Amino acid sequence: MMLVRTSAILCSVLPHGEHGAIARALTPEHGLLAGYVRGGRSRRQRPVLMAGNLLEAEYRARTEEQLPGLTVELIHSRGGLLGEPLPAAAIDWLCALTAIALPEAQAFPNIYAALDGVLAAIEYAPAARGWAAAAVRYELLLLSELGFGLDLSACVATGSRDDLAFVSPRSAAAVSRAAGSAHAERLLPLPAFLLSGQGEGDWPDIVDGFRLTGYFLRRDILGDRRIDPWAARERLIDRIRRLIG
């Protein structure tokens, strides 16, 4: 018998049957797990089964191959944010990306910690710029953890570690300003806050960061997916652009 009791971040919910739902949640030690929630579409369960919520989850199945039954209790709700357009779009996208991109039942502790952190930042940061850079870093981390990491350590053309300003779409490696300026229209901008690993970045840099990670997410992870969550990302970018004018 399979029995897993764990905290979990709810990432997606799909209706199943007349009253039930299939929920996918990211756990710290078991990765992304799916389970059937009896009565998951009921009035009582709907506020619990919202993307971004932190849950206490119990998965039970008779065999490893069977879809587990899932019972959940709410630890922390982020439902209040879903009435705010920009935070709601960010939670929708980040959770949908996680549910679609990660293979099930494989542990990704770094991704769990990062998702938990960026959702907390969305909830508590005093301004959107405080969490938008963290959302870009989350996308960058997910690419790396799935084997599609960008090499931002040195210029792919010269080996220089100074003044890195672009990323090659072909090699996913950094290019210095001196080596790339003549071909800038064919390269992706590399915002400085992704090199330092810290700081919020200015809004133009954050938009460039989303452009950079979005290119590789689309090409390497989401391009052949049957379910495409890209519309959620476009809503997020559109709301950021409205915010900054």
- Phi and psi, residue 116, nearest 5°: -60, -40
- Please indicate, yes or no, if residue 28 is contained in any of the structural domains: yes
- Please indicate, yes or no, if residue 176 is contained in any of the structural domains: no
| Summary mean pLDDT of the chain | 93
Residue among 216, 212, 205 nearest 240 (CA): 205
Select from 37, 54, 77 the last residue of a domain: 77
Residue 175's identity, in one-letter code, is V
3-state secondary structure of 192: helix
Residues 13 and 98 in one domain: no
Select from 77, 100, 131 the last residue of a domain: 77
**Structural domains counted in the chain:** 2
- Please indicate, yes or no, if residue 167 is contained in any of the structural domains: no
- Please indicate, yes or no, if residue 166 is contained in any of the structural domains: no
> Can you give the pLDDT at residue 122?
95
> Can you give the pLDDT at residue 198?
59
Residues 140 and 226 in one domain: yes
Count other Cβ atoms within 10 Å, centred on residue 104: 11
Residues 8 and 107 in one domain: no
What is the share, in percent, of the chain residues with pLDDT greater than 90? 81
- Please indicate, yes or no, if residue 183 is contained in any of the structural domains: no
Residues 38 and 131 in one domain: no
Residues 12 and 96 in one domain: no
Residues 132 and 213 in one domain: yes
Residues 95 and 35 in one domain: no
pLDDT at 127 over 90: no
Among 13-27, 48-62, 187-201, name the one with the lowest average pLDDT.
187-201
Residues 73 and 124 in one domain: no
Block residue for tokens 């599609």 = 148
Residues 53 and 25 in one domain: yes
- Please indicate, yes or no, if residue 205 is contained in any of the structural domains: yes
pLDDT at 228 over 80: no
CA angle in degrees (0–180, nearest 5) for 203-205-210: 95
Residues 57 and 138 in one domain: no
The Cβ-side half-sphere exposure at 2, using a 13 Å CA radius, reads 19
- Please indicate, yes or no, if residue 16 is contained in any of the structural domains: yes
Select from 13, 45, 77 the last residue of a domain: 77
Query: What CA–CA distance (Å, rounded) separates 203 from 41?
Result: 39
- The pTM for the full model equals 0.94
80-100 per-position pLDDT tens digit: 998 899 999 999 999 999 999
First to last CA, the chain: 55
Residues 71 and 118 in one domain: no
- Please indicate, yes or no, if residue 64 is contained in any of the structural domains: yes
What is the domain-level CATH number for residue 20?
A: 2.40.50.140
Range of the domain at 57: 2-77
Query: What CA–CA distance (Å, rounded) separates 45 from 47?
Result: 6
pLDDT at 174 over 80: yes
If pLDDT is split at 50, 70 and 90, which confidence band does 216 have? very high
Residues 210 and 226 in one domain: yes
Given a contact cutoff of 8 angstroms between Cβ atoms, the answer to whether 189 and 204 are in contact is no
